[in-house]
Amino acid sequence: MKFGPPWPEARELGRLVWDYLVYVTPMAPSEVIVAMGCHDMRVAVQAARLWHEGWAPLVVATGGNGKVTSEWAETEAKAFAHVMRDHGVPDEALLLEETATNTGENITATRRLLTERGVQVSRGILVAKPYMTRRSLATALRQWPGVEWLTSAPEVAYDAYLDDDPRQVLELMVGDLQRMVVYAERGFQAPMDVDEAAWAAHERLARLGYDRYVIS
């Protein structure tokens, strides 16, 4: 495992950031499930599960190649589509959006794709990595207003999620929490109150060197 200094302080600081960033809502019947492209294929599995449960008739897999997946041979959307087909989602229920390189483009490009196809959306479900659910919601509220947005994520606990790559997870969360504030100020996301303990933890982690995805 790729631990960074100091451990376990960094792990517990990350828990505070995680607890704020994870924002999952109850489900309700919707027009579309938007699977937010990333490196975590569990997001695609969760989107497939929601489709099988009947929460929406259509799934959009959105994502080109982002900061973590820039070296992939195929787009995030195609990778997600492989997983969802393997989990029983038929092609007629699946749309691919392969241009988005960030969260804002996930929303705006999906909106454009569905508008072009005449799909009206009054309620949609955003499926993302657990720690990306709140920022996905904040982005959708600004970039696609007038829609009731619900959020869902793979049911993975913080400690289990860290097992994949602890350092990368902490670095990504630090960057995402910073963006909750910076991108709201820039008009890219809807503003949301940030928990003081989570913000202090994010700042401490950045000072400890978990700052790879911090923007200046």
Residue 175 neighbours by CB distance under 10 Å = 19
The pairing of strands 32-36 and 59-62 is parallel
User: Is 135's pLDDT higher than 70?
Assistant: yes
Confidence of residue 5 (pLDDT cuts 50, 70, 90): low
Tokens representing 173 are 């969360």
pLDDT tens digits along 59-108:
999 999 887 887 888 999 999 999 999 999 999 999 999 999 999 999 99
C-alpha–C-alpha distance, residues 110 and 37, integer Å: 11
pLDDT of res. 72: 87
Residue 122: in which H helix or E strand, if any? Answer: none
Each residue's pLDDT tens digit, 154-198: 999 999 999 889 999 999 999 999 999 999 999 999 999 999 999
The answer to whether residue 148 scores a pLDDT higher than 60 is yes
